Amino acid sequence: DAGITQSPRHKVTETGTPVTLRCHQTENHRYMYWYRQDPGHGLRLIHYSYGVKDTDKGEVSDGYSVSRSKTEDFLLTLESATSSQTSVYFCAISEGQQAFFGQGTRLTVV
Amino acid sequence: SQQGEEDPQALSIQEGENATMNCSYKTSINNLQWYRQNSGRGLVHLILIRSNEREKHSGRLRVTLDTSKKSSSLLITASRAADTASYFCATRKDSNYQLIWGAGTKLIIKP
C-alpha cells in the first residue's frame, strides 16, 4: 500500500457533534481527496486539495469542511454530524494520473 | 453526479471462466481507469487506458475503450477466487485532476 494512513478507522458519534477525520501521507503527493462511499453510489467526492491551503469542493461538500496546513495532512471535518453522514470515508492521493487510497474510515452517526 | 456507470451491477461466475464488465461515461475524457476493491479495503489501481488508445493488456486483464460510444470494458481471463471484489471505472477529464467514478460491479468467483 502507498503511504496513506487514515485515522480513526472506526468511529461512532452522536448527531450534532463535530467529527474530524485525518488523512496522513508519506508520499509527498500534491493532490489529496476525500470521498464517501455508500451502497449504490460508488465513490462521491467531498473535497479535494491541490496544495497546502488550496482546497476545493466536490459534488457532496455540504456539511463538510477540510483543511490542509501541511503537505502530508488533509483533515475532513463534519461540522455537526447527521445520520445521513453515516458512511465509509476514503482518502486518496495522486501526483500523476492514478490515485492511491487509504484503508477507509467507517463512521456511524447515531 | 456519477459520470461512469458499470454494467452489470453484479456478476457471479465459475472459477476459470472469463469475466467481462462494462463502463459507460458521459463526457470527453483524457483517460479511463479501472480499480479493484476487496471487501472492507481501499481501492487499488489496476489499469489505465488513454483516450487515444483502443486496447490495453496487463496480465490477465484486457481493457478496451470506444470513445465514439463513450464506453469501456474490462475482461478478466481465467478467473480465480482471489478476483472476487468490486470493480470500478473512473474517468479523468483534461482540465482537472478529479476522477469521476461509477457505482461499480460486484464480481463473485465461485470455486
Whole-angstrom Cα distance, residue B41 to residue A102?
8
B87: nearest Cα among B61, B53, B57, B50: B61
pLDDT band at B4 (very low <50, low <70, confident <90, very high): low
Query: Which residues in chain A show pLDDT less than 70?
Result: 1-2
Q: Mark A62-90 as b/e (b = at least 16 C-beta within 10 Å).
A: eebbbebeeebebbbebeebeeebbbbbb
Q: Is A43 on the interface with B (CB under 8 A)?
A: yes
Mean pLDDT within B29-34:
94
- Taking only the tens place, the pLDDT of each residue in A38-63 is 987 789 999 999 999 999 999 999 99
Q: Do A94 and B101 touch (CB under 8 A)?
A: no
- Taking only the tens place, the pLDDT of each residue in B57-82 is 999 999 999 999 999 999 999 999 99
Q: Is A96 on the interface with B (CB under 8 A)?
A: no
Can you list the alpha helix ranges (DSSP code H) found in A1-110? Answer: none
Mean pLDDT within B16-37:
94
Q: Which among A90, A94, A103 has CB closest to B97? A: A94
Neighbours of B91 (CB within 10 A): 24
Q: Is A50 on the interface with B (CB under 8 A)?
A: yes
Q: Do B31 and A59 touch (CB under 8 A)?
A: no
pLDDT at B1: 36
Q: SS3 of A98, please?
A: coil
pLDDT at B27: 87
Whether A29 and A89 have beta carbons less than 8 Å apart is answered as no
pLDDT at B34: 96
Q: Do A58 and B98 touch (CB under 8 A)?
A: yes
Best A34, A43, A101, A105 member to test B by mutation, with max B CBs in 10 Å, is A43
